[in-house]
Amino acid sequence: MADVQHHLTLLPGWQKHTVNSEDRLTRSFAFKDYRAGLNFVQAVGDAAEEANHHPLIEIAWGSVTVSWWTHSIGGLHLNDFIMAARSDALYQDNYTK
């Protein structure tokens, strides 16, 4: 995807990294406790199911890390940036107030 750097400027906190030759978007989100993180995982999972686009989600006490990429193309697609933005919106709307 040619506009990766441009799209990354629109998603503060997200980073591009490569795993097994595949570019991914990854961000860690902070939470006050495990339950809040678990609720966020469920919300991201629900959004993923709705979009039929599924991330790697890792949860630990006080943090959740989400990675988006498109498996079928082995890298990044515009939809990955859209889903990263949706993840940000879920976090901002529910966990930063």
pLDDT in tens, the chain (97 residues): 568 888 999 999 999 999 999 999 999 999 999 999 999 999 999 999 999 999 999 999 999 999 999 999 999 999 999 999 999 999 999 988 6
Q: What is the pLDDT of residue 4?
A: 87
Listing from the earlier edge strand, what are the strands of the sheet with 15-19? 15-19, 22-30, 63-68, 56-60
Output the 3-class SS for 6-56: HHHHCCCCCEEEEECCEEEEEEEEECCCHHHHHHHHHHHHHHHHHHCCCCE
State the pTM of this model: 0.93
pLDDT tens by residue, 34-55: 999 999 999 999 999 999 999 9
β-pair partners for 23 = 18
Whether domain 4-95 has CATH 3.40.50.2300: no
Cα–Cα–Cα angle for 25, 23, 88, nearest 5°? 10
